[in-house]
Amino acid sequence: MIYTRISGTGSYLPGEPVGNAALIAAHGLDSSDEWIVERTGIRSRHLAAAGVTSSDLALEASRHALQAAGRTAADVDLIIVATSTPDYVFPSAAALLQSKLGNINGAAAFDVQAVCSGFVYGLTIADKFIRSGSHKCALVVGAEVFSRILDWKDRGTCVLFGDGAGAVVLEASDQPGLLSSAFHADGSHHGILSVPGQLCGGVVTGDPFLRMDGQAVFKFAVKVLADVANEVLGAAGMTAAQVDWLIPHQANVRIMQATAKRLHIAPENCIVTVGHHGNTSAASIPLALDESVRAGRIQRGQHLLLEGVGGGFTWGATLLKF
């Protein structure tokens, strides 16, 4: 039996943290540190300098993950980058990452565009490749520069997001690792969270900035996160009581608390890192995972429940033994 195991994690945050007060002052926002902290739990975020792209952030996170796994780029035969803010329309951020890593072994490389669920989508896809026997060592990365698609005049959205990347190395193993996964979408909700612009004749038509109905997103997110968590637990024959760590998409502390409550998972078993990196979309779960592994909170052998929800709408979860 072939299983998929995480053999290493890595992450990267660009530059210095930008606190709420500094962000408000820089953009002349009618907001306050108190409002942002109370409604979201976010105190600071990192913003990539001009010219720094998602594949640059992905490269740093990948190097850390490969080092932790004791692997080199030459060992990797599959590269999946989850991003909604790729460097170019094409080629993919994954192809650019492959080039930057110096992987010249013809590893398959492609992007997954499922917004904040992208990392869980990527894990689910890579798991199927590895279990099939077709691939042995995958790099799955979430990397975003959401600061590029924010309207800095819209206080309802621009305070919520940040830039960063997180990565894992997945390897074929005879020991159980990823236990069950599920991913879903319902495109009828495309209107409540989107960047409704496009390239046409060399110019952007429509609106190139992120637009969101925050309350609609909140309600939808809490419901599907609880549903998909129960789905993967049921598929693995486990209960929430057996989960050592819940690692939800880091969008908002209140969404995470509400989800943990619905699942009867104690708040202290829920990893929360959104406070110091904001919502980094596809990067948020692997960032939270890597930080907690390196801090010694997450230990080998523990059961982790990773779950995400994002624009589309998309959602998904992965239950694993670390």
* Residues noted as catalytic: 116, 249, 279
CB of 254 vs ligand ACO, minimal distance in Å: 6
71's tokens: 């692997």
Cα 228 to Cα 146, 157, 181, 252, 307: the distances in Å are 26, 26, 9, 18, 8
**116 binds ligand ACO per the rule CB under 6 A:** yes
Nearer residue to ligand ACO within complex by CB, 142 or 177: 142
CB of 217 vs ligand ACO, minimal distance in Å: 4
**319 phi and psi angles, rounded to 5 deg:** -105, 130
**Buried/exposed code over 307-317 (b: 16+ C-beta within 10 A; e: otherwise):** bbbbbbbbbbb
CB of 157 vs ligand ACO, minimal distance in Å: 7
Residue range at the interface with ligand ACO (CB under 6 A); choices 59-67, 101-109, 155-163, 257-265: 155-163
**215 binds ligand ACO per the rule CB under 6 A:** yes
Q: What is the spatial distance between Cα 245 and Cα 260, in angstroms, rounded to a whole number?
A: 10
**112 binds ligand ACO per the rule CB under 6 A:** no
**66 binds ligand ACO per the rule CB under 6 A:** no
**230 binds ligand ACO per the rule CB under 6 A:** no
**160 binds ligand ACO per the rule CB under 6 A:** yes
Helices (H), 173-271: 214-236, 253-262
**217 binds ligand ACO per the rule CB under 6 A:** yes
State the residue for tokens 């801090």.
295
Contact yes or no for 31/37 (Cβ under 8 A): no
Using CA of residue 183, residue 186, residue 189, residue 190, what is the dihedral sign? positive
Binding residue for ligand ACO (CB under 6 A) from 61, 66, 101, 251? 251
Binding residue for ligand ACO (CB under 6 A) from 48, 65, 159, 165? 159
- Which residue, among 20, 13, 78, has the nearest Cα to 48 in the 3D structure? 13
**Buried/exposed code over 233-262 (b: 16+ C-beta within 10 A; e: otherwise):** beebebebeebbbbbbbbbbbebbbbbbeb
Contact yes or no for 142/83 (Cβ under 8 A): yes
Size of the site for ligand ACO (CB under 6 A): 24
**225 binds ligand ACO per the rule CB under 6 A:** no
Which amino acid type is present at position 162? G
Applying the rule CB under 6 A, the residues between 194 and 213 that interact with ligand ACO are 212
**35 binds ligand ACO per the rule CB under 6 A:** yes
Binding residue for ligand ACO (CB under 6 A) from 197, 208, 214, 275? 214
Binding residue for ligand ACO (CB under 6 A) from 43, 136, 155, 261? 155
Residue range at the interface with ligand ACO (CB under 6 A); choices 11-19, 87-95, 179-187, 250-258: 250-258
CB of 117 vs ligand ACO, minimal distance in Å: 8
| β-pair type (245-248, 303-310) | parallel
Q: What is the spatial distance between Cα 164 and Cα 162, in angstroms, rounded to a whole number?
A: 7
**120 binds ligand ACO per the rule CB under 6 A:** no
Instruction: Give the binding site for ligand ACO (CB under 6 A).
Output: 31, 35-36, 39-40, 116, 155-156, 159-160, 193, 212, 214-215, 217-218, 221, 249, 251-252, 255, 279, 309-310
